[in-house]
Every structure is written in C-alpha cells, then in structure tokens.
Amino acid sequence: MDDYPLLNLFWTMLWLFLWVLWFFLLFKVITDIFRDQEMNGWGKAGWLILVILLPYLGVLVYVIVRGRSMGQRDMKQAQANEKAFQEYVQKAAGTPRHSPAEELAKLSSLKEKGALTQEEYDKAKDKLLA
C-alpha cells in the first residue's frame, strides 16, 4: 500500500468509473441504432461502422446528432412497456376494462336500484368522465 498513494487510487477509481460509463453509453447507442424503426438499413450500417471504428468520436457524434430522438424513443418504449404491463395485470386479475358508456350504464342502474345516492352518482360520473 505504501507504493500506491491515495490520490493515485482516486484517479484510478475515476478512470474506471468513466470507462464503465462509456461502455454503458456505447451499448445504449448500439441498442438505439437497432431499435429505431425510422432509420433504413444503410443508415444503421453507417452509424454502426462509425461507432465501432471510431468508438469515442462515433458515440459522441451520435449523441449530439440523435440524442433528442434517442430520448423520445426511450420514452415511447417505456410507455409501451407500461401499457403492456397494465393490460397483463388487468387480464391476470380478471378485471376487464370497460368503455365509459358501459361504466355510465352500470352507475345509472345502481342509482336506479337505490345503491347510490345522487351525490355519489355525480361524483362517480365526474370521475369517470374526467
């Protein structure tokens, strides 16, 4: 331990962290290249060649040029995953999603039977229509 000063240890840790961070970004860029449905095959091949042959410069240029759309594709993918998860949970729980018209009909029949007061009916209807 005496031959490796503490400051050198911090520098080594910093460079290791930056190296891992760069690998994460490289894999993120490659994943985004393949995920983009709007880019044609030649565009994907060109970006991959740039990223593989000149990795640091290629990743930097890709993030500068396509960074905003990269974030939008991430958001779209996250929303699709969330929607699929919600549908799976509803299907697994056995609670099918009904249309607002069906829900209003149910509320109306409950009110007619006396199970709901006018105030409860109005609150439920406002919540449903919101």
pLDDT of residue 111: 86
Q: Are 35 and 27 in contact (CB under 8 A)?
A: no
pLDDT of residue 89: 87
Q: Apex CA 68: angle with CA 32 and CA 24, to 5°?
A: 45
**Could you read off the pLDDT tens digit of each residue along the chain, which spans 130 residues?**
568 888 888 999 999 999 999 999 999 999 999 999 899 999 999 999 999 999 889 999 999 999 889 989 999 999 999 999 998 888 888 766 667 788 888 888 888 888 888 888 888 888 877 7
Q: Are 59 and 25 in contact (CB under 8 A)?
A: yes
pLDDT of residue 97: 64
**Matching residue, tokens 């949970």:** 89
* Residue 113 to residue 35: CA distance in whole angstroms: 53
